[in-house]
Structure 1
Amino acid sequence: MATTYAEYQRDRIGWFFGISGGQLIVLAAASLPMLWAINKAAWLSALLLALIWIAVLFVTIVPVRGRSATGWMFACTAYAVGGLLGWTSFRSKASTGQAEDLDTPDLPGVLQGVQVHDGPPLGSNLQRVAIIQDHATKTWAVTAAVVHPGIGMEDADERHRYGEALTGLIDVAGRTEKIEEILFTVRTVPEDGAERALWVSSHRRPNAPALSERVNGDLAHGLTQASVRTEQFVTIVVPETRIAKAAKESGGGLEGRCRELYLLMAEIEAQLRGPMRTTTVNWLTSPELALACRTGFAPGDRAGIVEALAMREKDSGVNAEVPWAMAGPSGADSVVRHYSHDAWNSVSSTIKLPARGVVMGALAPVLTPSESGERRSFAVAYPIVPQSKADRQSGNAEWAADLAEGMRSKVGMKIRAKQAEDAAKARGLDQKLARGNYLTRPYAVCTVTVPKTARISEFGRRLDASVRRAGFAPLRLDLSQDAGFAASTIPLGISLTRKGNA
């Protein structure tokens, strides 16, 4: 028996046959000329205006792959203008010999507004945590590399307990009244065998039998081809509007904001290590975060960095760090259906939640590579709605559900089971908020990354097949592949719902 979560609903329930108020106003205004023509008995004009009204109906209401026709029109226009002006292509300053400050991030697309600061010394190790400032969205963020044992072998009761622990984490973040979003990023990286090669080279005996060397070599080659590594990150995002006043009381400036972020980090870490049973929580420093970004754009660079770190233990003059000016790709191009960066191509898709609910651990097939050299990653984001706004939305949703039921009853329409279930969830939301729970709008983005020598369209179809096999519905992020890649792979707090990143 598995633990299934189905306590979610549409963000907004249309109060007139599923149509929102804005859409209803547009349709009503578009029908006025037709009604005027009918009143004047101008039947030919009324017929033409009726056809125009039907066209407005489809443009306004009917979604096409997640967007309305007007949304696609604006997106295509913006993409075309960006292509003509060269905004969809990126070339790093280091690749053109123009890099001046190696500590300044040089990242493409939605990451261009990111600046990374070194926080004050923290803890007994005097670790300087990387503070991520996004000037485009006016937010602050910190990222931790975590290790979790997973839930693959757990029973239903234990999975239910993990679900309650996640709910507790969201409620703790909401009660701080500062954290706007929590992001969990997981990357399944192909095993490069760098650590094993270093261990073998340091433990090889000169008088070892040749057969033993051959067997160990074949075994290492086979295990490397069949193995993957998992990298997990947790990022908390705090908007400037929520932290500015408290930061002023803590000394103001960057140091005041760092102190407030450190307090939030302690609260989140306690929840991660306690109820969620995370074995390791390491808040990343600036060099560690730069390394995570570089391996996100170029997974193949990790082996060389691991070797450099091993060489630095013997020779302190070896530079094993990745400067921020080189943490991004040397070149990147945003194509309609995929994202090209350095020698790699990536395809990103969002995941639509199924109506029957979600089983905990169902995303595992999405992270399973279909071939050697393929990298899978996904991010699950939990934007936290402020309590006052959540109460207002809950009241509006309950009112819309009651109004829709009343109108259907008056016109004699039968209330379907799904409509009744959505209305019950809208009414039950107020009870959850009254108990102290916080409202969140979770979403997930998954990405597959392969070398340019492979056909990215084929691996994109395999990713979609994995999503469907897990019980979800994939939705390709056409015209927004760069933002989808940054949100699901680069742990810098990029969101698809936050204004400025979308």
Structure 2
Amino acid sequence: LASTAFAIGGLAGWTRFRSQASRGQADDLGGVDLPGSLTGIEIHEGPPVGLNAARVALIQNHVARTWAATAAIVHPGIGMRGADDRARMAKGLADLIDQAGRTELIDEVLLLVRTVPEDGAERDEWIRRHRRPDGPVQARAINDDLQRVLTQASVRTEAFVTIVVPETRIGKAAREAGRGVEGRAQVMYGLMAEVEAQLKGGLGAVAVTWLTSPELAVACRTGFAPGDRAGIVDALLAAANGEDVTADVPWAMAGPSGADVVARHYSHDAWNSISATIKLPVKGAVLGALAPVLTPTEPGERRSFLVAFPILSQAKAARQTASREWAADMGQGLRERARMRSTTKIRDAAAQVRALEAKQARGSAVTRPYAVCTVTVPKTVRVAEYGRRLDAAIRRAGFAPLRLDVSHDVAFAASVVPLGVSLTRTGDA
């Protein structure tokens, strides 16, 4: 059925996207022009907040009927941390999900990480400002050689956290705060403060910056076209030095100039992407288990993944856990009456159900986490080979990959562009 619908969409031209700017029809530069599942996105600027009076971008999805806000975070990582520090951060992540569930507003917490090939833009600007013309020629040559070699072998990590609130939940609270976008902004600001405190506390984030509309547009544009980052950074640095340069990316140009959905990959501008989804195994996963997925294999390759935590409401979680516990007790009683031996798998499943019910009864949130991984490479190389390497990296991490064929555009939007889009659908629970 999915293949038939995809074929019909291809014949009808629904899988091809051409931006209005590429056709010379971009009349409103502030209007969002994005492909696929991002077509219903609208960006609002919230009221000034904080010492810098920043206007945080509020993401409204008219199709999914949700509101979202995205923060860029800086984290020292866990590569050199001991077992105690990792356990503390894992507990901090669990506390973040529990806290989001207790708000009864946040429907989903999305963690997105991108490893972008290093372009050396900041280093070039630093050298331009600090290099002395009378410096030793040999030292200059050595520094240039080191910069050229290390830039090709280096990657830059970008991390984002997005909270998603359904319109059905935020509407009532917004009426008490002033209605409209202003009322919803006040509600979102309160949720953002709670999440930021938990990110800096339990998870150990060094900095949490809620993105404004221009910053979010840059993150969106570099998601579709990683090669554009160097030019954007040069413009931002020039504007910071007082030069008359347009550094902002208009939302009408934040997306790709053209995008095509192919059955086996997603084509956007001069890049191709392949995505795969993974499910948390029954035995669980340790913190940092997805690190091998972010390791690129060739220069110019970008890896990214999204870890989504859809949070069930307390009432729905209570019904599900009660139903599962009743089924486990009924099955155990029938096996005992029939004098059937319970296997280890059955006993473990029953114990897991009872442990889940005990945690839910004590106030813990119930979530079904999943992840989406994406590899992006230029069109000059074979994307199928890099898709195979992505699958191999996922298996080395201890997970089983599932290629999201026929729906790579949705997977790309979820795992690369931090606009609050995920694979979660209404009624999945």
Residues in 2 aligned to 1:214 and 1:428: alpha-carbon distance in whole angstroms: 63
Say whether the 8 Å CA contact 1:330–1:342 is kept in structure 2. yes
Q: Conserved in 2, the CA contact under 8 Å of 1:169 and 1:272? A: yes
Alpha-carbon separation, structure 2, partners of 1:132 and 1:205: 46
* Counterpart position of 2:317: 390
CA distance in 2, matches of 1:405, 1:345: 51
Aligned match of 1:456: 383
Tell me, what secondary structure is at the counterpart of 1:437? coil
Q: Deviations over 1:27-63 (max 9, x none)?
A: xxxxxxxxxxxxxxxxxxxxxxxxxxxxxxxxxxxxx
Q: Given the alignment, which residue of 134, 143, 146 partners 2:61?
A: 134
For structure 1, which segment, 92-101 or 421-430, has the greater mean C-alpha deviation from structure 2 after superposition? 421-430
Give how far 1:316 is off: 4.0
TM, length-normalised to structure 1:
0.83
1:210 positional shift = 2.4
Q: 2:150 aligns with which of 216, 220, 223?
A: 223
Give the secondary-structure state (helix, strand or coil) at the position aligned to 1:380: strand
Deviations 1:374-423 (A, max 9, x none): 00000101111011110000011112223344555667765332222112
Which one of 109, 113, 116 corresponds to residue 189 of structure 1? 116
2:202 aligned with 1:275, yes or no?
yes
* Range with bigger deviation, 151-160 or 172-181: 151-160
CA distances 1:261-317 after superposition (whole Å, capped 9, x unpaired): 001111111111112111100000000000000000000000001111122234442
Return the letter of the residue paired with 1:283.
W
Answer yes or no: is 1:159 the counterpart of 2:86. Answer: yes
Mapped to 2, the partners of 1:484 and 1:408 lie a distance apart of 43
Aligned to 2:347: 420
1:262 aligns with 2:167: no
Residue 329 of structure 2 is aligned to residue 402 of structure 1: yes
Amino acid at match of 2:267: S
Structure 1 contact 137–500 (Cα < 8 Å) conserved:
no
**Which amino acid in the other structure matches residue 205 of structure 2?**
T
Contact between 1:178 and 1:243, CA under 8 Å: does it hold in 2? yes
Contact 2:115–2:302, Cα closer than 8 Å, also in 1 = yes
1:128 aligns to what SS in structure 2?
A: coil
**Counterpart of 2:103?**
176
Could you give the per-residue CA deviations for residues 236-274 of structure 1, whole angstroms, max 9, x where no partner exists?
000001010110111111100000000111111111111
Q: Does 1:203 align with 2:116?
A: no
- Sort the Cα spacing of 1:469 and 1:278 in 2 relative to 1 into closer, same or farther, 3 A: same
Q: CA RMSD for the aligned pairs?
A: 1.5
Matched-pair contact (CA < 8 Å) for 1:352–1:475? no
C-alpha contact 2:59 2:419 (8 A) present in aligned 1:
yes
Task: Find the aligned partners of 1:161 and 1:477 in 2 and give their Cα distance.
Answer: 34
Q: Residues of 2 paired with 1:338 and 1:491: CA distance?
A: 20
Q: Which of 418, 425, 430 does residue 357 from structure 2 map onto?
A: 430
Residue identity over aligned pairs, in percent, reads 64
Deviation at 1:351, TM superposition (A): 1.2
Q: Give secondary structure in 2 for the equivalent of 1:438.
A: coil
Matches of 2:252 and 2:57, distance apart in 1: 15
- For residues 355-374 of structure 1, the aligned pairs below 5 Å read 355-374=282-301
**How many equivalent residue pairs?**
428
Structure 1 unaligned blocks of 5 or more: 1-73
Q: Which residue of 2 aligns with 1:103?
A: 30
For the 8 Å contact 1:353–1:473, the answer to whether it is kept is no
Q: SS at the partner of 1:359?
A: coil
- Structure 2: unaligned runs, 5 residues or longer: none
Q: Distance in 1 between matches of 2:224 and 2:164?
A: 22
Partner of 1:443: 370
Asked if 1 retains the 8 angstrom alpha-carbon contact of 2:170 and 2:187, the reply is: yes
1:207 and 1:156 mapped to 2: Cα distance?
A: 50
CA distance in 1, matches of 2:387, 2:338: 46
Q: CA deviation at 1:128?
A: 0.2
Counterpart CA distance in 2 for 1:113 and 1:235 is: 17
- Quote the Cα distance in structure 1 between the aligned partners of 2:400 and 2:7: 28
Whole-angstrom CA distance in 2 between matches of 1:369 and 1:381? 22
- Residues 443 and 193 (structure 1 numbering): CA distance in 2 closer, same or farther, change over 3 Å? same
Match of residue 303, structure 2, among 364, 372, 376: 376
Relative to structure 1, the CA distance from residue 87 to residue 424 in structure 2 (aligned partners, 3 Å threshold; closer, same or farther) is same
Q: Which has the larger radius of gyration?
A: 1
User: What is aligned with 1:52?
Assistant: none
CA spacing shift, 1:405–1:80, aligned 2, 3 Å: farther
Cα deviations across residues 166-209 of structure 1 (Å, max 9, x unaligned)?
A: 11111111111100000000001110011111111122211223
